[in-house]
Amino acid sequence: MLKTIREQNFKGQRVLLRLDLNAPLNNGIVQEDTRLRAALPTLEHLLNQGAKVIILTHLGRPKGDGDEALRVDPLAKRLSELMDRPVPKLDDCIGPDVEAFVSQMQNGDLVLLENTRFHAGEKKNDPEFTAALARLGDVFVSDGFGVVHRAHASTYGLAEYLPAYAGFLIEKEVAILGGVLENPQHPVALLMGGAKIDTKIGILTNFTEKADLFLIGGALANTFLFAEGKNIGASLCEKDQKEVADAFLKAVPKERVVLPVDAAVAIEINPSVARHEVSVEVVGDQDKILDLGEKSIELFIEKLKTAKTILWNGPMGLYEIPAFAEATKRIVAALAQSEATTIVGGGDSIDAIKAFGYKEEDFTHVSTGGGAMLEFLEGKVLPGIQVLCM
């Protein structure tokens, strides 16, 4: 059971609030602010109670300290716009200056601290660094769902020093994703695609007994076609995952697994290439499978109509190039129209939704998780959630 911020009033307390504000920047400006907006309910709740809120986040992957482009000033600016109030930002996340600032804070004040990953101790969960962070707060509130799969100082270590609570975002993600794992409305369809096969196969395996239907597209499908002995030519494929794919295909009744029957292929990937479809039985040695073909698209959409719960992760094709965006576009449209519970996750999948003009509200739930969501659905115990449980 998660211990959440609902259990207590934080008035007058110094709350160290770990968020995942890691947003894409463009020329020092936040390009996409989903993660910032997702942090607002917890932030507003704590401030309204009269807590002193000290925000921790990472941004990107700094190499050592002082990676100027990865200072969090653009996040403070965007947050300030979203909250319609000033958001002070400090140039470090530990040390005497930070402590001095925090000691002056009044109830209802907030501050954003510098990128936690400027300190090597963050990722190492170094006790000295963690203790320096812990000195800043009376309690630790964790609400960065996107980082709960990491046992870092600010996502995990702090719970050893301070009473720890989950914020509303983590509470919601765990309720919804946990619901799919534990008591979903059947039939459950798992719609999986994308390219990072080793991060996806674990989910298929974990759902072997939980899902009623497995629809596999994207480059992920290539590994399965390959496992079935089909020629996939020069397609993207993780051949070393063949055995995992084999084991999955053996464990699941055949009628529950839907693989592409045809594909859009090309010998070279470039933006001006024309769409050309073939049956998966006749893929040439030089062909790359880059999208589902028309028959597969119709088949997938037909099957999805039978589901009451649909979990989607991973584009159905190389959607960045218009000639190979067809399957992803049509299937996203089908999901947006579906009456079923639709749960979507994955950085590229969410990009695709937006690129095709859909909004988060068109789906039941769009996870802010990425890697954390994938690991959660694999059934792993996530360190950043474990420390928030009683």
Give me the least distance between CB of 369 and ligand ADP, in Å please: 10
Residue 313: name its binding partner from Mg ion, ligand ADP, none (Cβ under 5 to 8 Å by kind): ligand ADP
Which is the catalytic residue, given 60, 178, 202, 371? 371
> CA-CA distance, 110 to 75, in Å (whole number)?
14
Q: DSSP assignment, residue 389?
A: B
The CA distances from residue 349 to 1, 2, 68, 356, 369, in Å, are 30, 28, 30, 11, 12
In the complex with ligand ADP, the residue whose CB is nearer, 109 or 228, is: 228
Tell me the HSE value of 312 on the side-chain side, using a 13 A CA sphere.
Answer: 33
Which is the catalytic residue, given 71, 196, 200, 288? 196
> CA-CA distance, 26 to 375, in Å (whole number)?
29
Sequential DSSP letters for 106-140: PTT-EEE---GGGSHHHHHT-HHHHHHHHTT-SEE
Residue 318: name its binding partner from ligand ADP, Mg ion, none (Cβ under 5 to 8 Å by kind): ligand ADP
Give me the least distance between CB of 218 and Mg ion, in Å please: 11
Binding site for Mg ion (CB under 5 A): 347-348
Question: Is 35 a catalytic site residue?
Answer: yes
1 CB-contact burial (10 Å; exposed 0-12 / middle 13-18 / buried 19+):
exposed
Binding site for ligand ADP (CB under 6 A): 193-196, 218-219, 236, 289-290, 313-315, 317-320, 346-349
Which is the catalytic residue, given 95, 108, 178, 347? 347
In the complex with ligand ADP, the residue whose CB is nearer, 130 or 313, is: 313
Residue 218: name its binding partner from Mg ion, ligand ADP, none (Cβ under 5 to 8 Å by kind): ligand ADP
Which is the catalytic residue, given 14, 35, 52, 89? 35
Give me the least distance between CB of 195 and ligand ADP, in Å please: 3
Question: Is 371 a catalytic site residue?
Answer: yes
Give me the least distance between CB of 89 and ligand ADP, in Å please: 29
- How many C-beta atoms lie closer than 10 Å to residue 24's C-beta? 14
> CA-CA distance, 54 to 388, in Å (whole number)?
19
**347-363 b/e (C-beta count within 10 Å ≥ 16 → b):** ebbbebbebeebebebb
**284, 235 in Cβ contact below 8 A?**
no
Residue 384: name its binding partner from ligand ADP, Mg ion, none (Cβ under 5 to 8 Å by kind): none
Residue 315: name its binding partner from ligand ADP, Mg ion, none (Cβ under 5 to 8 Å by kind): ligand ADP
In the complex with ligand ADP, the residue whose CB is nearer, 215 or 387, is: 215
Give me the least distance between CB of 94 and Mg ion, in Å please: 32
Please name the helix (run of DSSP H) or strand (run of DSSP E) that holds residue 242, with its range, or none.
helix 242-251
In the complex with ligand ADP, the residue whose CB is nearer, 110 or 343, is: 343
* Positions marked active-site: 35, 196, 347, 371
